[in-house]
DNA sequence: AACAAAAATGCAAACGTTTTCATTTCGTGG
DNA sequence: CCACGAAATGAAAACGTTTGCATTTTTGTT
């Protein structure tokens, strides 16, 4: 077997035109603006295209009209419950518009993000979705200079430079904390990822602190635990936390993955949820509902965000205007399941 | 704000050439074959490019040399523990070669897969990776006719039409079943996804049945349970299974997700793992190691597969030849954790 | 310093579409 | 059946690169 390096056999618009006995212009129109060509002609062309196995070359078209039909999506990581749903929804929605998706992950490395944005720009994407608001100025400049539509996904804020669609992470965090406070908990441990270059985690942390302050609850320094985005590590940290004598009555986790780890830690240590300890997460990932007991958490509608973002981005690309709603908030929803109880 | 529909401002190779006082050919070479141009000239050009904010247009280049620098990856679903790792690794490896990834999911719908392949072909991808061996003839024909390198990922078989890289799913299933049999279990329930258009699940099922036959163990029809790829559903089915009087001593799950569901079902029903029941999965997904007790399963190295596949595909595209090893098997590894014990 | 060989650069023709403008064909009313 | 406006089609010029070939410059040798 051998793959020709030249793709010589591939018929182009020219061959189709010859076979159908029309000009290449008409063939082009048959595929890009079908109703500009008379049905009989169109049918002849379509048949010729079929017989030759013609597949249109969008790269060539893009060269001329500067629209590639491809949108970029840049996420911190693909390998991860949260973003997977977002990605899938984004991609599926794009399909409705006959667009494709170039995707890349930067692993929370802003320099790599710059390289990625550049690489996407080299492919002349029609628009780009970035997770969150923390981005290198270089990236934003490149995008702005070329007038490429940008949308920030996942997080929501009232006033932003670029359009966004997402949930209010501050509010979400406050909601779960209030829920825990309402149940009477006062000795609350906080397991949160590093908030370095991650506005979502930062917003959540801020929300938590705000709500605690309002309730006049103080948190001892050793109750504020930095925990990476990793079940194993979360489990380890929580085992340590709950096995000692000074066990908190509740744990607020920065996301559901950490909460899962906390669950397993409690199973391992024989600590009963929610009788001995209440646990809440943020995100409502796949599986959270089916943990035993179900995880109390707040649902951030990832699919909805992905779908809306794709729609908005396509609209921006098509119209050249910002989306109808510049700052689009999607509602988060507290899922009160079995992992929390009154103290 | 407004996004110009014409991207007028964007400088091209021509502007860079003018500013650097060289011909466009030299500018082109500076970016595509840097060591063909003398360092002083190159530096002048690079500076001019920097000052203008030039970003090369690969679509235009692709038009000429028929290589887009983009590879396609088609998976059943993105939103899913298994493929997420594969995707991420594939994408990361591609980055090493300065290639990008177009990805799409078909949700186990072969017709949609055809549409996707076509769409990718319209973007003139340099190669494509497909999950498994079950594909529509139409798709394969389109790819073959255009000499686009194809590789099958995830599953492994000895003799195949197209190159593949993956794990032997038959063997993997046999390994876990043998493990369960070795522990003395004879009343074994099987929870497997529908094997319709899914060669991986089919191979696993076959492996299970082979091993049971060899051991002369018969499985009652009601012990062979069809279970979708869904934690909630798995949990429901297993609760039913273990709550009755005729509880099996072991459950073999078609994948780790189902196993997770089985775990939660046992937690809910107060059935102790592994004392009351042994559970094994296939796949070793994220989190499986940290369940309590740890899930005994067989590790299918998703990241390794993705990485190798990307490398092979790039090589195929570059050389025009099949990869060095046409049928590449990656080793699976039994992870004997706490969820199994002797009967 | 002169010359040949090698290396660097320039010129111009592709690559496969889309689109503008001109031309032809079609449908309709008189 | 003709004339007319509208609709469909065709001709040709882009789009921004890459690359084969020709030309110029550099390098190395004597």
B174 lies within 8 A of chain A by CB? no
C-alpha to C-alpha distance for B319 and B323, rounded to whole angstroms: 9
Listed by range, residues with Cβ under 7 angstroms from strand C are A 10, 12-14, 24-25, 28-29, 31-33, 54, 56-57, 60-61, 63-65; B 21-26, 29, 36-38, 40-42, 60, 63-64, 66
pLDDT of B82 strictly over 90: no
pTM: 0.94
SS3 A194: coil
pLDDT at A244: 87
Decide: B26 and B17 in contact? Cβ < 8 Å: yes
Decide: B88 and A79 in contact? Cβ < 8 Å: yes
Radius of gyration over alpha carbons of chain B, in Å?
26
Q: What is the pLDDT of residues B20-58, one digit of tens each?
A: 999 999 999 999 999 999 999 999 999 999 999 999 999
Nearest alpha carbon to residue A82 among A297, A232, A274, A273: A297
pLDDT at B152: 98
Nearest alpha carbon to residue A72 among A319, A315, A313, A316: A313
Average pLDDT, chain B: 94
B81 lies within 8 A of chain A by CB? yes
Q: What is the pLDDT of residues B6-23, one digit of tens each?
A: 455 689 999 999 999 999
* pLDDT band (50, 70, 90) for residue A9: low
Q: What is the pLDDT of residues A164-221, one digit of tens each?
A: 999 999 999 999 999 999 999 999 999 999 988 689 999 999 999 999 999 999 999 9
In whole angstroms, C28 C1' to A25 CA is 28
| Chain B residues 127-156 with a CB less than 8 Å from chain A | 142, 145-149
CA-to-CA dists, residue A230 to A77, A271, B86, angstroms: 13, 21, 18
Q: What is the pLDDT of residues B237-280, one digit of tens each?
A: 999 999 988 999 999 999 999 999 999 999 999 999 999 999 99
pLDDT at B1: 45
Residue with the larger pLDDT of the pair B209 and A80: B209
- State CA A251 to chain mean position distance: 26
B97 lies within 8 A of chain A by CB? no
B217 lies within 8 A of chain A by CB? no
Q: Which nucleotide lies nearest residue A29, CA to C1'?
A: C18
Residue with the larger pLDDT of the pair A106 and B65: A106
C-alpha to C-alpha distance for A335 and A298, rounded to whole angstroms: 5
Tokens read off for A223: 């109750």
Average pLDDT over residues A274-286: 96
pLDDT of B133 strictly over 70: yes
pLDDT of A81 strictly over 90: no
Which residues does chain A have within 8 Å of residue B62's beta carbon, measured at their own beta carbons?
A: 59
């Amino acid at each position: 077997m051998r793959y020709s390096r030249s793709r010589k056999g591939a018929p182009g618009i020219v061959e189709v035109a010859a076979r159908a006995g029309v000009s290449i212009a008409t063939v082009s129109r048959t595929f890009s603006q079908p109703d500009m060509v008379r049905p009989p002609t169109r049918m002849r062309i379509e048949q010729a295209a079929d017989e030759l196995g013609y597949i249109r070359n969008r790269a060539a078209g893009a060269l001329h009209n500067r629209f590639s039909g491809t949108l970029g999506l840049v996420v911190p990581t693909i390998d991860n419950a949260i973003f997977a749903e977002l990605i899938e929804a984004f991609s599926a929605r794009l399909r409705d518009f006959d667009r494709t998706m170039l995707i890349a992950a930067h692993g929370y490395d802003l320099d790599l993000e710059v390289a990625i944005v550049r690489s996407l720009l080299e492919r002349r994407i029609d628009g780009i979705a970035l997770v969150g608001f923390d981005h290198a100025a270089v990236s934003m400049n490149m995008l702005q200079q070329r007038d490429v539509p940008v949308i920030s996904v996942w997080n929501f804020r009232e006033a932003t430079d670029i359009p966004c669609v997402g949930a209010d992470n501050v509010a979400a965090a406050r909601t779960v904390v209030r829920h825990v406070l309402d149940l009477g908990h006062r000795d609350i441990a906080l397991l949160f990822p590093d908030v370095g270059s991650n506005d979502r985690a930062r917003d959540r942390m801020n929300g938590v602190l705000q709500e605690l302050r309002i309730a006049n609850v103080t948190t001892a320094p050793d109750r504020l635990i930095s925990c990476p985005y990793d079940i194993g590590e979360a489990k380890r940290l929580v085992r340590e936390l709950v096995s000692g004598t000074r066990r908190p009555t509740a744990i607020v986790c920065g996301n559901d993955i950490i909460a899962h780890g906390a669950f397993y830690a409690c199973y391992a240590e024989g600590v009963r949820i929610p009788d001995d300890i209440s646990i809440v997460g943020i995100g409502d990932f796949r599986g959270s509902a089916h943990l035993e007991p179900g995880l109390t958490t707040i649902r951030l509608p990832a699919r909805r965000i992905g779908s809306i973002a794709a729609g908005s981005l396509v609209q921006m690309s098509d119209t050249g205007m910002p989306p109808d709603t510049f700052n689009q908030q999607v509602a988060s929803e507290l899922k009160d399941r079995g992992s929390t109880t009154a103290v």
